[in-house]
Structure 1
Amino acid sequence: MNKIFKVVWNRTIQSFVVTSELAKGRVKSSAEQNSTDVSAESGKNGIATVFRLTVISAALLGAGNSYAATAGRGLIAVDPPTSATAVSGATATGIGALSVGASANATANGAVAVGTSANATHNNSLAVGTNAKATQNHAVAMGADTSASSSHATAIGKSANAVSTDSTALGADSKANGTQATAVGKNALANNTNTTALGNSAQAFGIGSMALGQSSTSRGQDGIAIGSGSQAAANAQNAIAIGTNAVGYQSESIAIGNSAQAQTGNTIAIGKSAVANSPASGNAASSAIALGADANATGLGTIAIGRASGVLSQNIMNVNVTHNNIAIGNTARVGDSSSSKITQSIAIGSGNRVDPQGRPEGAWAKGDQSIAVGGNVLANGNSSVAIGGDDLDSVGSTRYSGNATDKFIKYNEKGAKTGEYTLSGKSLRDIYKEMTGDTMNHGSYGNTIAGQGSVALGVQSNSSADLSLAIGTKSQATAFGGVALGTGAKATLLNSVALGTASKTDKEGRAYVQREIMGVTYTWAGGQTTDAGDVVSVGSQGYERQIINVSPGDISATSTDAINGSQLYGVLNAIERVRYFSVKSEEGKTDGTKNWNNDGAKATNSIAIGPNAATSTGATGSVSLGHNANVLGSSSVAVGPNATVTSGTVGAVALGSNANSRGTGSIAIGLNTENDRNYSIVVGAHSRANYENATVVGARAAAQNNGTAMGYLSNAVGDDSVAIGHQAQTTQAYSIAIGKQANSSGLYSTAIGSSAQAAGQNSFAGGNNAKATGSDSVALGNGATTTVGSSVALGNGAVGAANNFDSTAKNASFKNDSGAATNVSYAASSSSKTGAVSVGSAGNERQIQNVAAGRISSTSTDAVNGSQLYTVMNNVGHNIQQNGTDKSRINNNGTVNYANGNLTTVAVTDGENASKVQINVTQGTLSVNNNGTVSAPTAGVATAGDVANAINNAKTTTNVAAGSNTHVNKTTSGKETTYTVSADKATVQVSNALNLTSNTTTASDGAVTTNYSIDLAQSTKDNIQKGVDAKTTVDSKGLTFNGDSGSTNIEKLGSTVT
């Protein structure tokens, strides 16, 4: 409305208030010294207040003692000495205090309270909003019912509560209840020292804990919960939970993925709904590891890698009966919900079908200390071994690759040829059917199965009976103690043996104790206990085989040795040799060594088949199959040329040419594979495991202590490290490299993505070609790069390099409008050139959006968002001072209106560095008529010369004396005295602007003389002086600007502040 206002004294509330120039005030005597009232009306005779500005500049005219500023409703009260300002029902006490709103209170230096019942009770505190309370030094409370009750505490948002020193609560109903705690989001709670809760209903309870995401909770010391509903549970020190509803229940546990759960200490669960649970939660070496969606690693030392892989047992948490199991591959399983004991079992392989209950199946080591390797392989029994798969589609459709002349020839009982079957051009499926009579159906998938203490090696091999052995594609040992060795071999009778492709135990054994031949009764040894299953078959009906190169057996009445053809030649020429079983070798021929005499099996219940194949005396229950195959450990298997299981091992498996297994429970499968340590697994040509519990899958892959390497040329060098992918490599302990040629060379580092590199300690590189070479750095995004410690690069191609900010800089300088240099200090200079965060690179910068408003103060290091900068731009202003003391603040876009007043005019002109404000006083004139009366015919302020002239013209002294025939009559009305001289009378009258004094003397002649003195009234002189002082103040003293850093700068009116 462009009204002109004044500051006046309110006697009722004993404070200066701002009021309209149209209001009327009561004038006090100028003799009172405590304070001065300024009337809102103009003085009589043109003498009035000579300087008026806006509401803010009017405060410059106030004077008197300091009082608390209390404003009535709709009014503004200012206490000039303290600059305390109260607006509309508020009270402000303290230097620079400001309160706005009904019952608002700002009761300390620099305190600001804005809003109904807002309270700012300590120095530099800020309370904005209804019932907002800032009750400690530098506390900030913004929003209805907010509370900041400790020094440097900040509470922003309805009912936000910052309780402790340096705490921050941002969001409706948020609460920061610990020193340096931060709670951001609706109902967020940071309830301990250095805690951080970010997200709606996020809660951080443990010292140094962090909860990020809606309803996330971190309760243990230094726990981390990231993701909606994620939890780092109580007493879970250093627990990490990342992902929606992920939970880390105990200390040092890690859960990463949607609904992942690390249920006990030192366990790791990575993947959607992955679960890791170890009863020995304090023993890091025995912790469980689950990697993959729905993976479940429950039990001491359990490892589950792959989707839906896991361990099942009814005593899952009993360390005596469930421990050290391994399941690797999608849906790979160890144990069963009904298992009472499941220890040291291994399942490696992925499934591609579901069981009758609709559940996906993979490798399944169901029995205690069982081993299952391959797709849809079942090691059903305790101490069983099943190695193979379920898919023969590609094999069945392959054409025979042998000589074109190869064929099967059939003969009758007299040796006459009855038919032939040419192999050339036939599929292996057809040949298999011809040999075995069984089908190798396309699209038919049967599990490889092993029963109690049984071994099944080969695709769709089956040793489902207890203590049975099946080796070869589709081999079957389905009766107790049965042995089926060869493709399609079937041992279906109790304790029977089927040796060779398509061999079958299709005829029961009989007890032959004696027989009469040609009238002579012969009695034989060894037949008394022969049962139906006590048979060895090396073929099948119609496909019989010879047993050749049989060493002569003992010939005696009690001998049970096999007899070769030469021994029986002269006795019974009709007995044919065993067919289709042959070993071609000259080794040991001359001296009968190297198993030439079938004596390579030295241990009880062991088998040695092949030239120089052997089982040592301590290799009880072992199998050695192949040229130079050698087993020195018990319950072990060596299959293939030069395959070896070393002494001192138990349950080891070496399968493949030159395969070597040297550790208890170790497995080495593939050409030139080497497995040196206990319970480690090596699958793939030229692969090697050098430490216990290592897992190596892939040609030329290698892993060390507790490491896992999967993929061609993958190499897990660091202890407990994981390398997955073609040429993936880890070189330091606890590092992870996932992806083709991914490389993690820093301690505790992680590289995920093709050619990703994590070289710095604790670094993380995620994305194709991402590189994190600085320690504690993070590069996330394709091609993202970090080169210095603690730096972060986020986004495709982002580069996190050194912090280019001057680490020693403390202030910045600029020139003001007058050209003078000015320094502005700021907080938290960089202490090093590390720690930069980049979201792009030079020429490829990105916006950072959705940034929450940061704390704004002289010590703040928070990021500010665009809305905060916009607010600053629209609130930049300057101070107006009175005699060097700040009186009012002019905000950005605010206006200082220099208005013409009564008897004053204002002229403002621009200069190069300043604007010139000139206040001119309207000059009036004084005149004296012939009667000596002084009058002011025009409104204005008389100059001293005018006053002097008027006085001189009116004469200095007026003597009113009664002369002859005259008399003087004196009358007084108010402050005016009239001397009337007429017939015997005289009258002298002056206005209130003048003082009139008189002195009466009586001459010796009796004549009475009255002398009158006229001078300007003191109020008139004071008003003139005020105009002069105000002009001096405006023209020369300038305005004082106080910066956020505490520096002060005085600028004259008209100058420009930059």
Structure 2
Amino acid sequence: MNKIYSLVWNAAQSRWVIASELSSKQKKGGMRKTMLKGLAALLLTSAASSAFAGTCIQQDALGTGSVKGTGASEVTTCDAFSIAIGAGSGATSSSYSVAIGDAAHATGENAVALGRQTTASADETTATGVASSATQDGASSYGYFSQATGIKSTALGYNSNASQTNALALGNGANSSFANSIALGAGSVTTIGAESSYSAYRLSGSQASIGELGIGNSNGDRKITGLAAGTKNNDAVNVAQLKAVGDQVDQNTSDLVVMDGRVSNVEQVVNNLNAGGGVKYFHSNSTGSDSVATGQNAVAVGANAQAAGNNAIAMGNDASAQADGSVAVGAGASDNGRGAESYTGKYSDVANNTSGTVSVGNAATGETRSISNVADGMQDTDAVNVRQLDGAVAESKKYTDTSIANLSSSIGSVGGQMTETIQNVTNLQNGTDGMFQVNNTAQAAKPKPTGANSMAAGAGTSAAGKNATALGNGAMANHSNSVALGNGSMTDRDNSVSVGSAGNERQVTNVAAGTRETDAVNMGQLNNSMANSTSNANSYTDNRFNELSGDLDKQKKVLSAGIAGAMAMASLPQPYEPGANMMALGGASFHGESALSLGASHLSDNGRWVTKAQINTNTQRNVGWGVGVGFQF
């Protein structure tokens, strides 16, 4: 016996098996058909491990799903549903493993080793390519001598190496040696990995990262091309964005050159204003931080008011107008980043072109007033990134400090300019020049912001409520968190906005359609809502009336059928001779409904007692019955 085996069909087990050449088998279909069936069975055995159960291999026996080598080394498979093909290959120790190739070894559960001298030694691992190995759970290696030795790591490429948890090495000779890091490109390496606390350029806070992306090595770096402009804090920035910042710094530098001696004069006047000198007919009663207007042509009025958008207006304690063209009026009011917008309304498909947002509340904090956030809603438009502004401002400030120091030697030549500047500031204080002017020919009383953190602007205005704002001649905001806008406007409750007074009301026009619960509703929305409500009410009433009519008609038929049944039972005769019995059948009809009755009656032998029982059915499929006993005397 030369230990040569062949594939035969086992009818009792309904599968192909490997047996000795001396085993008997069916002689059907000829040698060609037998060879084709054997080849198909071998392919099925190697490609579908779930179809056969592997067994441990002894020296003279082969398990189902294994192919024995013909050289010095033989295949070894030692668990259920495993496959091993190739001299010296092995699928041992666990279930569902596959090893194909000379000296390939798949020793983990669900492991796959494909290629000469490949090793997949942990659960759910894959090793593909000559001498590749995947040695930790979930690891995958692809390519000649690729190594994936970290948990769930991946090495893809010739001689690539991923040695830490979740590491990825992609490219010829790429080496990812830190957890959650990526080595991308031929020869690329990772050098630092994740960092829990480090300092970044021009950022004061501590930074943290979960991993590293390496695209080069100590011999050279790579460029990243085709990069879109970043919009969020953690986006990459391209060269075009950096050039824009540089151009702005150059413009600031040019503006600073012409400032000369006017800086010192303006500084003295500004100090007087900061000390509480104020501007005629424009005062604020607050100990909070100064207002800041950083946008072009922006206006900020009130303690800690912030106007960062171009042409933005922030009026009131802690008011914030961050977007271009926006207006925030009242203590704590914010435009929430919404400014001028052109868009198609969400869900309405209506074109909207707004010139800005007027807000008298703050949707982010839940602080609302009667009118707020009236523009149609959509995704926020990005403003200038604060981090980018900080860098540009820092560069400008650095140059400004140097320029001011160099200007000290030329102060004596600007005496005439000093007089002009002082006069300009005096005009600003009197309200006769600048971007905020008043006409007080009637010599009306000055505004009185007597409430805590209140603001009053205009002749004879009064802001007596806490955090109140009064704007306009004779305007009165005497309630907490209230706003009075316009000549003679008066508030009558806390947390309200008034644009008139009792008997002197004003319309609020050009109101965009509201989209949020606290937005104002314009007349178009109100008319549409009323039309829809009326239509829905009419439809509901019609439906209910039709249902009631149907119920009444049905009830009428049931009653008519019942009356017909009563008439049918009343029509039944009864015996008249003593001791007699009678079976009777009766019928009746009433208002289109019919009934049929059946009855039995008996007259006693003495003719005194009468007993009867009867049943009826009608066209409404209802059944009725009745019994009776009578005594005649």
TM-score, scaled relative to structure 1: 0.23
TM-score, scaled relative to structure 2: 0.36
Is the strand fraction higher in 1 or 2? Answer: 1
Is the helix fraction higher in 1 or 2? Answer: 2
Structure number with bigger Rg: 1
